[in-house]
Structures are given as C-alpha cells and as structure tokens.
Amino acid sequence: MLSPINRWFPRSATTDAKLLLATRALRGLADGTVSILLPSYLTAIGFNPMRVGAIVFGTLLGSAALTLWVGLATDRLGRRRVLLAACALMLATGIGFAATASFWVLFVVAVVGTLNPSAGDVSLFLPVEQAALAEAAQPRDLTAMFALYNVAGATAGAFGALASGVPAILAARHGWALAPALRSGFVAYAIIAAIAFAVYRRLSPAVEVERQPAKSAPLAKSRAIVLRLSALFSLDSLGGGFVIQSLLALWLFRRFNLSVQAAGTFFFAAGLLGSFSQFISSALAARFGRINTMVFSHLPSNAMLIVAALMPTPGLAMAFLLLRFSTSQMDVPARQSYVMAVVPPEERAAAATVTNVPRSLAAAMAPLPAGAMLTHSSFGWPLICAGALKTIYDIALLIQFRAVKPSDES
C-alpha cells in the first residue's frame, strides 16, 4: 500500500522530485512574505509609489538578465551547481535588504539579487528547477508533476503572505518602530536561503543531462516553436507585471487604506485558491488538451480582474480578485509541461530559460508605468491594463497553437 505522501505523487516521480517540491515550497514561503512586506517596508522608509515601482522593476530586470546569462549554459555548468549558487545569491539579497534603507543601494541589490515581488516565480531558480523536474518523472506525468510543483510554491506562498502581517502586529503590540520590524522579514528570507541550500545538496546526479559540447546550439531542434511561445508568453507576462503581487498590494494600500495584516490575510486566501485550483489543471489538460486548459481557464480570470478595478469598496474589490485567483493559476502547470513536452530532453533547460526570461523582461516593463499610475491616481488602471493584455494573449495563443499537440496528446 502506498504511503499518504506517495499517493500525491505520480508513480514515476523520484526522490529528486520530492526534494524539488520541498525547495519550491521553501522559496514560495520566502517570496510570499517579502512580496507583501516589500511595498509596505519601502513606504515605511519614505519611498513613493514611483520608487517602489522602480525597485520592483529592478528585481524583475535583474532576474531576467541573470537567468538568461546562466540559463543557456546551465547544462554545461551543472543544474545542481547553479541552484546552489542561486541560493548563495538569495542569502546575500536578504542580507542586503535588511542592512540598508538607501534607495540606490536597494535598487542595485534588487537588480543583482533574487528578490521576487510576484506570487509566482520569476527568478533564476525557475528554469533550472523546471528542467530538473522534467527528468524526475515520465512525460505522461509531467502536467501532474508541475501541478504539484506549483501547488507547493503557491500554498507556501499563501502562508508567507499571511506571515507578512506578523512584524506589524508585533510592532504595534510592543511599541516598536514599524520599519525595523518589517525589515526582519528580509532576515527570514536569508535564513530560508540557507535551508534551501542544504536541500539542494541532496539532489542526485540524475537531475543532470549529458553535458553538451560548448559549440552545440542550445536550441538546435526546437528553436522555432520555443521563440513563438516565448513571444506570446511575454505578452501575458507584460499584463501580469501591472498586477504583480507587490503592486497589487500597493494598490490595495492606496485605494482602500488596507493594513499590512489585512493584505496578508487576503493574499493568504488568494494564494490558497490559486494553489488548489492547479490540482484541477492536470485533469483538464488530460481531457481537453493543454492549450485549451490554458486559454479557457484564463479568460474568466481576466474579466474578474477588470471588474475588480471598478469596484468602489474593498469588500467587493477583494471578492472579485478572489474569483480571479480561483482560475488565474490553472494555466501554469499546463504551460510549463507543454513547453517541456514539445522540446527534446537535452534542450529543456534552454527552452525553459528562453520562455521564462522574456517573461521576466516583459513583466519588468510594467511596474514603472503602474507606479506612475498609482502616484497620480488610486483608481485601478493597472488592473484594467493587465486584464486587457492578458485577454489578447489568450486569444492569440488559441489561434496559433491549438493544433500543435505534443506526442502524448496526439
């Protein structure tokens, strides 16, 4: 009889898969905490929405550049080695944010570090873990495996968002200054990096693939389809950049004067909804195909996002945002497994990099205009921009790729 833990895993999943789920959960916990603390902390030390947007821009731009630089060479450097180095950088990022309140120093740390202002994952870890996870289960189980991977991150991220209110509660109860209390979240971020480092050290050599000669092109066989997907995913990510979790929290702070504790509780509920909805993704993808699952789960969430922007009260706005979160993440496992399924194993790390880096770059283009919008008005213009761009992406994806099926869907 299978143990309770193993029942959640596809039969072909290895021990490495479980370790990667554990590290995804650890990073989700850290990201969920700092994504809510970040706008609150930066506001507490005197930054306006434009400067907050600039810091968020820096985190996304730096992550994209670093991921591109390292990601295409990951299989020559070694996936385990890259993940360990990324943990060291994560540790340094937490220390950097905890040690200074200077805008320009924080901006530099944001650019070169691993801080993630998103509810999802936009860091150097993502393409490397995706490629390693694809080696830890059979192709038929990839969507289920990626669903578990994303659920682990999203659920832990929800608890991280809930924990983000703890420093403010303690500060109010004990009469501490708010900014130093919030800064403790970045210390916790650094501690989690050290724990993740210890877990990555346990990965086996099976997560690696045979190292390719330096002269070999990273995407020799799948270049055309990966570039087309990358262009479309970038459009989706540009829309998402307007409502990245830190900016959505900032909008709630400015529009409805929401407290950090209330925002943390809201994003906890939103994260759980997004997390559990991803379990459905595998079943839908098996029945209707990955592309149909991506598009028809995404379109309703875009409509709810636009409606939330128009709501006059925090209760109504958060209700529609929760409806949005209940379907907005169902496309993620299907998208990730689709990319892994349509490229050969030796090109998966490069494909994950080339599809994820432009997403980060596109997302980085949105925080500055979103910050400018929120500086001049508390109305939900960023939410409307996000919903419109994401709807265009969904329609284009359906038109271009509905007939392009991986071998396991044929």
> Which tokens in the block code for residue 302?
């875009």
Mean pLDDT of 260-289: 83
* pLDDT of 72 above 70: no
* pLDDT of 115 above 60: yes
The reported pTM is 0.76
Which of the listed ranges 61-65, 298-302, 336-340 does the model predict with the highest average pLDDT?
A: 298-302
pLDDT > 70: percent of the chain: 90
Question: Which tens digit of pLDDT belongs to each residue from 1-57?
Answer: 344 445 566 777 788 888 999 999 999 999 888 888 888 899 889 898 889 889 988
* pLDDT of 61 above 60: yes
* pLDDT of 410 above 80: no
Least confident among 109-113, 256-260, 331-335, 383-387: 331-335
Mean pLDDT of 206-223: 64
* pLDDT of 205 above 70: yes
Residue 368 lies in a domain: yes
* pLDDT of 102 above 80: yes
Least confident among 145-154, 199-208, 369-378: 145-154
Mean pLDDT of 207-213: 63
pLDDT > 90: percent of the chain: 30
* pLDDT of 323 above 80: yes
Least confident among 30-34, 140-144, 264-268: 140-144
Domain count, the chain: 1
Residue 233 lies in a domain: yes
Q: What is the pLDDT of residue 5?
A: 44
CATH number of the domain that 255 lies in?
1.20.1250.20
Spell out the SS3 assignment of the chain: CCCHHHHCCCCCCCHHHHHHHHHHHHHHHHHHHHHHHHHHHHHHCCCCHHHHHHHHHHHHHHHHHHHHHHHCCHHHHCHHHHHHHHHHHHHHHHHHHHHCCCHHHHHHHHHHCCCCCCCCCCCCHHHHHHHHHHCCCCHHHHHHHHHHHHHHHHHHHHHHHHHCCHHHHHHHHHCCCHHHHHHHHHHHHHHHHHHHHHHHCCCCHHHCCCCCCCCCCCCCCCHHHHHHHHHHHHHHHHHHHCCCHHHHHHHHHHHHCCCHHHHHHHHHHHHHHHHHHHHHHHHHHHHHCHHHHHHHHHHHHHHHHHHHHHCCCHHHHHHHHHHHHHHHCCHHHHHHHHHHHHCCHHHHHHHHHHHHHHHHHHHHCCHHHHHHHHHHCCCCHHHHHHHHHHHHHHHHHHHHHCCCCCHHHC
Q: What is the pLDDT of residue 244?
A: 87
Residue 55 lies in a domain: yes
Domain range enclosing 229: 14-209+218-409
Q: What is the pLDDT of residue 190?
A: 95
Residue 257 lies in a domain: yes
